[in-house]
Amino acid sequence: MSQFRRIMLVTVGEAQRSPALERAIRLANASGAALHVCVLDESGSAPDREALLQERRLWFKEEAQLLDAPNPQFTTEAISDSDPLAEILAHVVEFKADLLIKDADPETPARRLLLARLDWHLLRDCPVPLLLVHMGAHALPKRIVAAVDLDEDEALNRHIVDQALALAIQSNADLHLATVFDPLVAAEALPPLVPNLRPDQYASLSKGSRTAFDSFAADYGVPHLRRHFLLGTFKRSMRELTQRSQADVLVLGTAGHKGLEHLLLGGSARALLDHVRCDVYVVKPPALAERLEQRIRDQASKPE
């Protein structure tokens, strides 16, 4: 049975083909999932919202036919630009989406300063997996990299790989598994007052991490050629790996709101998400997803 039964797509601006639109149509066609398209009209000049939706429905059918998906199961919804985040999240819960897809915002100098933009809020608050799409070579992913940190929660690592594996199976893609051994992070495990990491300590920690990583990868049947034990900082190592392996999707996870803000809003992670050219697929553990969904339901039920 397919992992995806309901996919939601957020489109911004005028009717035009985008990488996210193509990914959503292709993935829905491959999985047989229903597709709900949320149209964000930033102009605010459309006097008749239903007319806008009717135009988009016709255009969407034409695009689907051009992409060899002639009979898509899709619905449309218009979202105002006054509070798009709340409306999108409410629709995610109401539609019971398994995946939310959106084009990644283009890089601009102001982007580094404007942390309140829609992408960041969706990364933080969306209770379902979020796929931010860049321009790629393949309509469906062919190479997927799942990034794990074996010093963190094992359940979260397994959730990341389970999601990546399901996407790989659905897309007939190769799954790669990666982890990063950072000497500076490893040095934090030293006892107090120890000035630095000796070569024998470094070798021991590195070997132990590599052994644990190989054991973890073997549990999922990932072949040695698709295992990547990287040395250095997470940002640089993952950016270089995705470029070298020509990855289509990088799958990341977060353990909670505090961790998510550190992962996605911290300098290193922000630089990674800004400069990596593959799609970024962010998953949350089920417990956090349930809390976020309940918060959305509670906010929707409050009287205005």
Mean pLDDT of 6-23: 82
Residue 45 confidence (pLDDT) above 70: no
Mean pLDDT of all residues in 262-291: 71
Q: Region 165-182: what's the mean pLDDT?
A: 91
pLDDT exceeds cutoff 70 at 30: yes
Contact criterion met (CB below 8 Å) for 15 and 55: yes
Which is more confidently placed, 225 or 37?
A: 225
Average pLDDT over residues 259-283: 63
Instruction: Dig out the tokens for 162 from the structure.
Output: 């389970």
Residue 28 banded pLDDT, cuts 50, 70, 90: confident
Going along the chain from its start, the domains and CATH numbers come out as 6-103 (3.40.50.620), 143-290 (3.40.50.12370)
Mean pLDDT of 168-175: 92
pLDDT value at 65 more than 80 = no
pLDDT at residue number 257: 46
Q: How far apart are CA 53 and CA 48, in angstroms?
A: 9
Tens-place pLDDT, residues 84-115: 888 899 999 999 999 999 988 665 555 444 44
Say what the pLDDT of residue 272 is: 64
What local confidence, expressed as pLDDT, does residue 230 receive? 93
What pLDDT, in 10s, does the model give residues 119-131?
878 888 899 999 9
**Cα distance between the two ends of the chain:** 41
What mean pLDDT is reported for the chain?
A: 79
Q: Please, which residues have CB within 8 angstroms of residue 13's CB and are 6 or more apart in sequence?
A: 40, 42
Can you give the three-state secondary structure of 229-266, one letter per residue?
EEECCHHHHHHHHHHHCCCCEEEEECCCHHHHHHHHHC
CB distance 39 to 53 below 8 Å: yes
Q: What is the predicted pLDDT for the residue at 189? A: 55
Which stretch of 108-117, 122-131, 269-278, 289-298 has the lowest confidence by average pLDDT?
108-117
Rounded percentage of the chain residues whose pLDDT exceeds 70: 73
Beta-ladder partners of 132: 102, 280
Q: Quick one: which of 225, 129, 127, 107 has its CA closest to 176? A: 225
pLDDT of residue 114: 44
| pLDDT recorded at residue 13 | 62
Question: Mean pLDDT lowest for which of 147-151, 161-165, 215-219?
Answer: 147-151
Tell whether the model's pLDDT for residue 195 goes beyond 60.
no
The residue ranking higher by pLDDT, 111 or 20, is 20
In this predicted structure, the answer to whether residue 34 has a pLDDT above a threshold of 50 is yes
Say what angle helices 49-66 and 19-31 make with each other, to 10 degrees.
70
Query: What pLDDT score was predicted for residue 70?
Result: 62
pLDDT digits (tens, 9 = 90+) for 205-262: 778 889 999 999 999 999 999 999 998 888 889 999 999 999 999 998 876 544 444 4
Helices (H), the chain: 19-31, 49-66, 84-95, 118-125, 154-171, 183-187, 199-219, 234-244, 257-265, 267-275, 286-301
Burial 154-186 (b: 16+ CB within 10 A, else e): eebbbbbbebbbbbbebbebbbbbbbbbbeeeb
